[in-house]
Structure 1
Amino acid sequence: MTIQAGAEQVTFEVVSPTADKQDSAGSPIAPRLDTLNGKVLGLLSNSKPNAEVALRAVAEKIKERYPDLKIRLYPGSIRFEPELLRRAIEESDALIGATADCGACTSWLIHDGAQAEKAGVPQVTIVARGFERDTDTSAKVFGVPGLRYVVVPRVFTALTAEQAAEQTLPVTDDVIRALTEDAGHDEGAAAEPEEEAGEWQESYTFRGAGAVEAVDAFNTFYLERDFGDGLPLHPPTRAKVEAIVEAQGRPGDDLVLTVPPLHGSGTLERIAVNAAMAGCAPEELPVVIAALKAIAACPPPMNLSVLMSTGAFAPVILVNGPLVKKLGINSGRSPLGPGLNNRVNIRIGRAVALTLRNLGAWIPGRMDLDTIGTVRKNIQVLGENEDESPWEPYQVGRGLRPDDSTVTVVHTVGEWDLGSNHGPADRRIRSIAARTPTLTQVGFMTSTLAGLQGNEDGLFYLLPPETARKFADAGLSKDAVKRFLLHNMRPRIADVIAPFIDFRERGLVRPEWDWMFRLTPEEQRSQSVQAFNDPSAINIAVAGHGTPKEFVFGTMTTPITEKIIAIGQSGAEPE
């Protein structure tokens, strides 16, 4: 930190939390067609409501102008199956994709369009207004910064089929130009904000009549540039950043990971800058890095979906092992709460969120298109209360040792305080099963929609030690509790199928589940079905202290556990 104190003037320099400006170089778009007459026009429908309606409407209007045009529909999912996308590219002379009107579907549709352009097939994507910035950024990420799109006024999911067609027809000429004109067409492209278009700086200098005024100037500038989370930041002075980096025993320019969703360059130094802004101590950085690696390891398509969706998804970080005590991570009373006991939890979560923001562009309105948002995006960190748990630590169930320090990341969709604190073990576990919400999530998506596999939907329970001991004293292992909950959470069939009636009408429900829709309304109301198909969808950790008040997160990703490589450790396993 460079401080000049004279006549009450204070000057200090801070380091930029962002990577050097994103390289916008990439593949050029494919050559455009001279005419659409006699060509094959492929329609990439990503299964979103009204996507096929919009595509058919504009394609039929184009065919009026080009009578010899052949139209082929390729119905897929939010992330097209590679074989379906390959076939569409091989069989089509040009492609139209729809719809880009949510965070994840926009990014994946641009990803698929970029693959077509790289293969030499011109394409255009139908994008809802408000998603232009996401589209432009995604096009750069996927290597085709000039990718073309047209903009319609409203999101398709808010419209009737008639309204969807009505708003799409006026962009027909734009679609034709995007497929047939080689130059001078930037339909719908949004100008980059000044802070993105301006020259990137390695550092910034702030002055003030005293330290408070100088720090206020720093915070005002950084928050106006959207470098922060809305709360006051710690100045990441060069000395502070260097101290964090040097403690890791690695060069600052080491590339630790590419940070999602933008896949920005996460060098050790840039992660350290964001950790310094959160107030982290050097020994806390390995936890931050392990959490970021776990987030980046989420398999597709959920790796982008959970960070870019219009839904309120957010990562939660569970820490296990000796580092919980060593660092002072709270695992006891109110580990997800505020205050002194949670200062380390909060610093680590904040550092992860700032890194995702500044290196991964996880920023509302840019790559994060969340409609309403959630306070869970102030990322929550807690330790498992291993000392008071009657069961093995969480990471042991993931194949690691009790003395391994780990982070486990799961992306959550909601949280509920169950509070079933009365009665013996059998009553308590039945109460937990009865009180657990199962229909506030996507629910059954893995079994009904094409393209999604695994346990994208699930539950993560935080059981207080008193509840866990009650179950253990009754002879229940952690796995036994999970199996009981699996078989005893049974929502009504009428409630399960309600969100998927339109999917069935569009042929997207898998045949093995069609029987539920064929039941009479009375049968659907009177019969229930198991909420989850696999025990691995249910996870349990022990946390908190005191009264047995159980807590559960709904989850959108399978938990990912990453070993923490603490300062002074190597990443190699002992022989």
Structure 2
Amino acid sequence: MSQQSPDEQSLAEINQSLYEDGLTDGLPVIPPTDERVDEMLRGTDKPRDHVLGDLGNNENVITVEQLASNAVMAGCLPTYMPVLEAGIRALADPDSNSIQFSVSTGSWAYQWVVNGPVREALDIETSSGAFGPSFHANQTIPRALGIAYRNTAKIYPGEKDMGVMGNPFKFSFLAGENQDASPWEPYHVTNGYDEEDSTISLSGPNGWVQWFPDENNAENVLRNMIENTPTSMRASSGEDLNATITHFFNPYNAEELEKEDLSKQEVKEYLVENSYRTLDGYEEPRDDTGKVPPRQTQQYADTDAINIIAVGGPGRVNAIAGTSIGGPVTKKIEFPDNWDALLDEYALEENWVPTEGFYD
């Protein structure tokens, strides 16, 4: 770092210094001054030195203050801290397998889904373009979590992060579930939480495919779910490692399935029962009857390896994310005592810009 104080350094100089020290994700950041970190810490009741968990494979602890500093750099607001803390707890959960999809050659990403009332409170987008740009919370929350993991576990390309191609979704891959438009129970309810709970869920996929059905009816939607899943995506659950696939449904196609009285569980069962793939090059001796045994395997081995989540707005485009070699894990979001007052202070208005003074 330069010997100049933050007040004497220009924004460009600070960004260059942080970048050279390997503390950014390559994009410009907001300098984490003491004042900004103090303001970010208003979003939590926990003390600065409270340890949220260990990240990486060397017991690298991350404290609330360290998270707040990374959150400032990513452009978050103090109201995002409860979501960020829950996200760190998800990354620190051994069941998330986060270290594996952070360093693997397969270039896995961090996939986040937010459920519950916090989506509306923080304007986390659930409808049109939810996974895309333009939405402050959707972009800065996952960015902060990614930078925090990188800086805490010291994950650098070519050293620990051995992703051959890299993955652009490591910048941001977060949406809220469109619960209001979904005909099914919300994802967090499926996983044992109450509907009024706010949660964040983590998976680690390395692929993303968008598709739309040949015809807008239940039969074609189900068939196209299988046909549009790449052969490289395989789903099976197990005690040692889950290999899961997530189907993101737009509300329209979800409604068409629900009209046929198909629950999420029945959709999963269809995938398991009908997702047989030919094993090219596989040879098996003929049996006593002279017949060759089937040369097929199930792409979806069991229903526990399939996630179904409603995301998106008008239109009949769906998406598949997988295979995830981590999680999924879901964490409940806990709010500080001053939550309502802080929300009012940072309330979004038409033509919103960050609260005056916070980024100055």
Check 1:475–1:231 CA distance in 2 against 1; reply closer, same or farther (3 A cut). Answer: same
Report if the CA contact (8 A) 2:199-2:332 is conserved: yes
**Shift, 1:530, TM fit:** 1.7
Alignment of 1:546 onto 2:306: no
- Equivalent of residue 533 in structure 1, options 285, 298, 301: 301
Give the match's secondary structure for 2:54: strand
- Distance between the aligned counterparts of 2:95 and 2:126, measured in 1? 28
> Is the contact between residue 262 and residue 359 of structure 1 (CA under 8 Å) also seen in structure 2?
no
| Aligned counterpart, 1:298 | 94
The equivalent residue for 2:5 is 205
What residue number does 1:518 align with? 284
- Structure 1 residue 285 displacement after superposition: 1.2
* Cα pair 2:56 2:153 within 8 Å, conserved: yes
Q: Within 5 Å, which residues of 2 pair with 1:71-470?
A: 205-206=5-6, 214-299=10-95, 302-339=97-134, 342-420=135-213, 422-437=215-230, 439-441=231-233, 443=234, 453=239, 456-470=242-256
Structure 1 residue identity aligned to 2:261: G
Which shows bigger deviation, 291-300 or 404-413?
291-300
The Cα shift of 1:205 comes to 2.2
Match of 2:263 among 463, 468, 477: 477
Q: In structure 1, what is the equivalent of residue 332 of structure 2?
A: 563
Cα gap change, 1:454/1:433 in structure 2, threshold over 3 Å: closer, same or farther? farther
Gaps of 5+ in 1: 1-194, 196-200, 447-451, 499-515, 571-575
Distance 1:222 1:390 in 2: 46
Taking a change above 3 Å as real, the CA distance of residues 471 and 220 of structure 1, as seen in their structure-2 partners, is same
Q: Which string of whole-angstrom CA distances, capped at 9 and with x for unpartnered residues, describes residues 138-187 of structure 1?
A: xxxxxxxxxxxxxxxxxxxxxxxxxxxxxxxxxxxxxxxxxxxxxxxxxx
User: TM-score of the superposition, structure 1-length normalised?
Assistant: 0.55
TM-score after normalising by structure 2: 0.86
Q: CA deviation at 1:523?
A: 5.2
- CA offset digits 1:258-287 (Å, max 9, x no partner): 122443221100000000111111110111
Q: Distance in 2 between matches of 1:345 and 1:329?
A: 6
Contact kept, 8 Å, 2:167 with 2:206, in 1: the verdict is: no
Contact 2:236/2:244 (8 A) holds in 1: no
8 Å CA contact 2:43, 2:80 repeated in 1: no
Is contact 1:417-1:552 (8 Å) kept? Answer: yes
Unaligned runs of 5+ in 2: 340-360
Q: What CA distance in whole angstroms lies between the structure 1 residues aligned with 2:284 and 2:148?
A: 49
Secondary structure of the equivalent of 1:487?
helix
**The residue matched to 2:313 in structure 1 has which SS?**
coil
Residue of 484, 488, 496 corresponding to 2:274: 488
Tell me the residue number matched to 2:347: none
Quote the Cα distance in structure 2 between the aligned partners of 1:558 and 1:519: 39
Q: Deviation per CA, 1:473-508, whole angstroms, max 9, x where unpaired? A: 1111111111111211111122xxx7xxxxxxxxxx
Matches of 1:365 and 1:453 in 2, distance apart?
30
Contact kept, 8 Å, 1:261 with 1:361, in 2: the verdict is no
Residue 303 of structure 1: how far off its partner (Å) = 4.2
Secondary structure of 1:295's counterpart equals: helix
Quote the Cα distance in structure 2 between the aligned partners of 1:453 and 1:246. 39
Distance in 1 between residues matched to 2:43 and 2:249, nearest whole Å: 36
Contact (CA 8 Å) 1:262, 1:367: kept in 2 or not? Answer: no
Say if 1:224 and 1:396 are closer, same or farther in 2 by CA, change over 3 A: same
Q: Is the 8 A contact 1:312 1:372 kept in 2?
A: yes
The CA RMSD measured in Å over matched residues stands at 2.5
Q: Structure 1's 405 and 335: CA in aligned 2 closer, same or farther, altered over 3 A?
A: same
Q: How many equivalent pairs are there?
A: 334
State the distance in 2 between where 1:468 and 1:445 align. Answer: 23
Residues 431-452 of structure 1: CA distance to partner in whole angstroms, max 9, x if unpaired?
A: 2222212x314x4887xxxxx7
Q: Distance in 2 between matches of 1:385 and 1:216?
A: 39
Specify the alignment match of 1:51 in structure 2: none
Of structures 1 and 2, the larger Rg is shown by 1
CA distance in structure 1 between the partners assigned to 2:317 and 2:198 by the alignment? 26
Question: CA 1:427/1:248 → structure 2, altered by over 3 Å: closer, same or farther?
Answer: same
Q: For the residues of structure 2 that align with 1:274 and 1:474, how far apart are their CA atoms?
A: 47
Deviations 1:324-363 (A, max 9, x none): 0100001100111012xx2111010110011011111122
The higher relative CO (CA closer than 8 Å, separation ≥ 6) is in 2
Question: In the TM superposition, what whole-angstrom CA distance separates every residue of 1:550-571 from its partner, at most 9, and x where no partner exists?
Answer: 101012223101101122299x
AA aligned opposite 2:167 = T
CA shift for structure 1 position 315: 1.4
How much has 1:421 moved relative to structure 2?
5.4
**What secondary structure does 1:461 align onto?**
strand
SS in 1 for 2:277: coil
Partners of 2:235 and 2:133 in 1: CA distance: 35
Aligned residue identity for 1:532: Y
Q: Secondary structure at the match of 1:400?
A: coil
